[in-house]
Structure 1
C-alpha cells in the first residue's frame, strides 16, 4: 500500500473506530488515532499488549477490535480504583493492566455480543502471533505467555486451542500451586473491580518477582539476556513513549508576570509596524524564490486536489437549500392532492429537503519568523504554500502571516529605555514587526509571488509570540466566516533577548499562554504546528513535524487530522 493509500486507510479507520468507541463508551471526548485512545488530545496509556498495534500490518477488523477494547476501558473501569492498586514496576504494571482488560472483556463485553466477538478474536490473533515468534523460545517469554493465556481463559471462560494447551502444560503445572489461589479469586471477583484489583496486583507482584529472578539467572548468558530484554522492550514500552520522540517546548511561570497580576506591558509601540513581506524583497529576487519553490514542489508527490477534497470534507457544513418536488417518497406535497385524485397511479407526489455541503471556514497560518526558523525556511515554504493552495481549492478563506522583530537585542526601544534611566518593569522591549504574506481577500494564484518572500533570510530575527497571536486572531475575527482556525507554526518558545533580559525567562511565554486561552474563548480554534518540537505546553492541540523528514502525503494528512480535531462530528 503506498503512502497516500495508507494515510487514507488510516484516516477512514480512525473516523469509523472513533465513532464506535464514542457510541459504546458514551464519552464524547474520546478519539481514536492509529490504534491509541485519546481523551480530547491527551493520550490514555494502555499497556495490555493485545490492544497495541502498529499501523502497517493490520486490517480494519484489528483496529475496530482495539477500539472496542478501549471503549470497554472507558465504560466500565474506574480509574481511581485502578490507580490505587497499580504496581510501581514496569512488569507489574504490564500484567496488572492486562488483568484489568481481561476483566472488562469478560464482564462488560457480555452485553455487547459483537464487541465480545471482536475482542476475543483480537486476543486470539495476538496470542497466535506471539506463539509463532522467537519470543516463545525464551524462558521469560513462555512464562509470560503462560500467565496471560491462563488468566484470560480462566476469567473469560474461553477455551484455549489444543496446541496452546500442549505448549503451556509444563509451565502451567509448575506454577499451579503458587498462583492457583489468585487465579480462582480473579474469576470469582471479576464483577467487583476493587476486590479484583487487589488480587490482580498480588498476582502481578508474584509473577514480576519470578520474572526478575529468571532475568538474574540468565544474566550470565549475555546473548540470552539481550533476547530477554528485547522481549520486555517490545511488551513494556508505554503508549505515552511510543509517540514521536520530539523535545517538549520549555514552559514555566513568570515571576514578573505574576507579580503584576498577569498584566503584560509594552514599553513603547512607537517602532512597531505591519508590513507586506514582499515589499522587503527585490522583484527579481522574489521571482527567483518563486521558481525555487515551484521546483521543490514539483519534486514532491503530493496530490493537491486530493488534499483539497480532504479539507472540504473536514470543514463542510450541511445546510438546507429548499425543497425538491416531484419525488416518489418523502413528505406529501399538498399541491399534488388534486393530481392524486385525478390519477391514482401517480406516485411523484412527495417533496424532500435538499441539503448541500458548504464550507464557511477561515484559516490563518501564523509563522514564527525568528532566527532559528531560517534554516527551515525552504522546506516550510513548500509545506505552507501547498496547504494554502489546497485550502483555497476547498473553499476555505486563508491568510499567511508572520511575526518577527525590527531589530536584534531591542533596537530603538531598548535605547529609549536606557535614555529614560532604565525604569523598572518595562515589559516588552523591542520593535515588533508583523508580516503579511497572503491576505484573506487575495487568492493563492494572485499571492503566489508574495508567498515566496518566505525565503528571504533577513526577515528572520526574534519573536514575540503572544502579541502575534493576538494580532492574527483579531484579523480572523474581522472575517465573515462562521468558523475560524489559527495555526501557529514555530520551533520554540517565545524569545526576545532584550525583553528576557529586563524581565525573566518565561515572561513572554506566560503572556502567550494567556493570549491563547483568551483566543479560544473568543471561538477561534488555535493549534500549534511544532517544527521539531512539541508545542503542547502552549497549545492544547498540537502536532510536531520533523524538519529533516521528506514532505510525504502522510505529513499533510497528519496536519489535516490536527485541523479535523476541532471539527469532529
Structure 2
C-alpha cells in the first residue's frame, strides 16, 4: 500500500479501537478498558478473554470485531470472577471448555434493547467456528471433539443455529458427546441466569470432556501437522497457570511493582544537547535547519493562531481606557465637563489570551530515527517557535543511550557474575534540547543539535516518558501535554537479550498509562508506523514526506484535541 493508504488504514483501525472501547466501557461498566492496536487493555494490563472467539484480529471484518467487543462487555457485566474461579478446573482442556461455557452463558442474554448486539454476537461466534475448522482444527480427533463441544454448547445456550457446514462436520461427534452433554443440555439453558448454580455443573462437564480426550493437562508437546497446530493454538493460555483473574493475567510493569528492573544507574546521565556539539558545528546545523524551514514554506502566523485557539484562554490584563461604553472612568470626568459631546469616558477590563497549557516534546533518539531528523527538526522548530510566541511553557527533550549494546552497565553485570533477569542493561542518556526557561530564540542552536548523528543509539522509552512527564508536571499549567515523537517500539539489544521479550515494551505501556492517570495528556507522533498499542492517542505521520504547512497543521490539530 502507499503511504496515504497506510495512514488511512491506521486511522480506521484507531477509530475502531475507540468505538469498541466506548462500547465495552459503557456496557461492561468498567471505565478502565481501552483498545490498543486491536487488543483490549484494562489500564496498562493486557486483558485475556475467557473464550478464544473473543480474540478478533484486525484482518477480520468489522462485525467480528464488534461482536468480540460486545462479548467482552457482557463478560465484564455478568461474570462474577470469584464464582468463576471457585469452580474452575485444572488442566488446559477443562479450563477451555469451562471458560467457553461461561462466556456462552453471558452471551445468551444480551439486552433486548440492543438487537444489533445479538446479531454481532451470532456473527462473531459463527465466523470463529468456520475459521477454526478451516484452519485445520477438525483434522485431529481431539480438535474435532472440542469444536463440537463449542458449537453444541453455544447453540443450546443461545438458541442459535450452528452454521450448516459446521453442523455437518461435527455430526460424527454427536454420538460420542451424547452421554455427557445430552442430560445436561436442558439444565445448561435453564440455569444460564444463575452463575452460582451453572458453574459447578459446567466444571463437571468440562472435566468429563477432558477425560474423553484422555488428558486433563495441556496441548500436545509436538505440533507437526496443521491440525495439531490448530489444537495447540486453541489450548494455549487455558492451562492452570491462567487461573488468576480470568480477565487480566498479564500485569503492568513498573519499577514499584518489581516488574521493571534497572541493573545499575551509576552510568546514567542527563545532558544539554548543545554541550555535546562543537559550537562551529552547531552553527552549521542551524544553517541547515533554517534552509529546510525555508523550503517548507511555513506560515508561522497561521500556526500560532491555530495553537492559540486551543492552548490559550482569556485572562484579565489590566484596564482598557477611552471606551464609549463600560464603566465610568473617574479620571475622564473632567473631559466630559470641558467637552459635553465627548463619549469616550468609560473603561473596562482588558482581556488578553494567556497560556492554558504546557507542551513537552519528547524525541526518540534511537538509531532508526536518524533518517527522520530533517522532518522532525522542522516540525519541532515550527511548534516551538509558535508556542514561545504565545508564552506557552515548552520543553524539547530527547532520549538515547550512551553506548550500543550495553556499555559500562553490561560490563558491571559481567563483573557481578551475570545474574539472571538483570533488568535494564545500558547507560541511559537523557537530552535537553530546550528547557522551559529558555526562549525559542535562545534555544535555536540547541534544537539544531538533532543533526548530530552520533547521539542516536538505542532507546529506553518507558524511563524517558516518566522523566519527561515528571518535568512536565512542574510547569504548573492547567493542561499538561506530552508529545512523543518516535518511529517504533523501545529497543536496547543488551536488555532485550537478557530479559523477557516484552520487557521494554510493557514498561512503555505502563509509563504512558501512569502519565495519563496523573493528568498528563500523552500523544504520539509516529513516523510511518501505527504505535497505538503503546499510545492510544497516536497520529501516524508519513515517514518519507517532507515537512510542510499541511503536516504542521495536522500536528497542531492533534495537540488541540482533548480526546
Superposition TM-score, scaled by structure 2 size:
0.59
Partner residue of 1:187?
189
Number of residue pairs matched by the alignment: 432
Q: Does 1:534 align with 2:507?
A: yes
SS in 2 for 1:32: strand
Distance 1:33 1:480, change over 3 A: closer
Q: Deviations over 1:345-392 (max 9, x none)?
A: xxxxxxxxxxxxx99543324579xxxx87677479689758846976
Partner residue of 2:276?
280
Partner residue of 1:450?
447
Q: Deviations over 1:307-330 (max 9, x none)?
A: xx9xx99x968999xxxxxxxxxx
Q: Which of 81, 94, 97 does residue 92 from structure 1 map onto?
A: 94
Separation in 2, partners of 1:35, 1:179: 35
Q: Deviations over 1:238-263 (max 9, x none)?
A: 4999x9x9996776779xxxxxxxxx
Separation in 1, partners of 2:55, 2:97: 14
SS in 1 for 2:213: helix
Q: CA deviation at 1:230?
A: 0.6
Separation in 1, partners of 2:67, 2:400: 49
Separation in 2, partners of 1:81, 1:535: 34
Instruction: Say whether the 8 Å CA contact 1:287–1:449 is kept in structure 2.
Output: no
Partner residue of 1:438?
434
Tell me, which stretches of 5 or more residues in structure 2 are unaligned?
Answer: 260-265, 293-297, 315-353, 410-427, 496-501, 517-525, 540-557
Partner residue of 1:26?
29
Q: Does 1:140 align with 2:136?
A: no
Superposition TM-score, scaled by structure 1 size:
0.59
Partner residue of 2:474?
477
Instruction: Say whether the 8 Å CA contact 2:359–2:393 is kept in structure 1.
Output: yes
Instruction: Say whether the 8 Å CA contact 2:361–2:395 is kept in structure 1.
Output: yes
Distance 1:470 1:142, change over 3 A: closer
Separation in 2, partners of 1:211, 1:444: 74
Instruction: Say whether the 8 Å CA contact 2:51–2:103 is kept in structure 1.
Output: yes
Separation in 2, partners of 1:468, 1:17: 27
Partner residue of 1:514?
none
Partner residue of 2:15?
12
Q: CA deviation at 1:149?
A: 0.6
Separation in 2, partners of 1:491, 1:4: 24
Q: Deviations over 1:267-301 (max 9, x none)?
A: 9xxxx9986421431245446778999999xxxxx
Report the aligned-residue RMSD: 5.8
Q: Which of 19, 42, 48 does residue 51 from structure 2 map onto?
A: 48
Distance 1:214 1:285, change over 3 A: same
Partner residue of 1:175?
177
Instruction: Say whether the 8 Å CA contact 2:313–2:356 is kept in structure 1.
Output: no
Separation in 1, partners of 2:532, 2:96: 32
SS in 2 for 1:363: strand
Separation in 1, partners of 2:148, 2:92: 18
Equivalences for residues 485-524 of structure 1 within 5 A: 485=482
Instruction: Say whether the 8 Å CA contact 2:254–2:507 is kept in structure 1.
Output: yes
Separation in 2, partners of 1:17, 1:146: 30
Distance 1:8 1:217, change over 3 A: closer
Tell me, which stretches of 5 or more residues in structure 1 are unaligned?
Answer: 255-266, 297-303, 321-357, 411-431, 496-528, 544-550
Equivalences for residues 106-505 of structure 1 within 5 A: 106-110=108-112, 112-213=114-215, 226-238=225-237, 276-286=272-282, 361-365=357-361, 378=370, 385=377, 388=380, 398-401=394-397, 435-440=431-436, 442=439, 447=444, 450-453=447-450, 455=452, 457=454, 473-474=470-471, 476-478=473-475, 480=477, 482-485=479-482
Instruction: Say whether the 8 Å CA contact 1:249–1:535 is kept in structure 2.
Output: no
Instruction: Say whether the 8 Å CA contact 1:81–1:197 is kept in structure 2.
Output: yes
SS in 1 for 2:432: strand
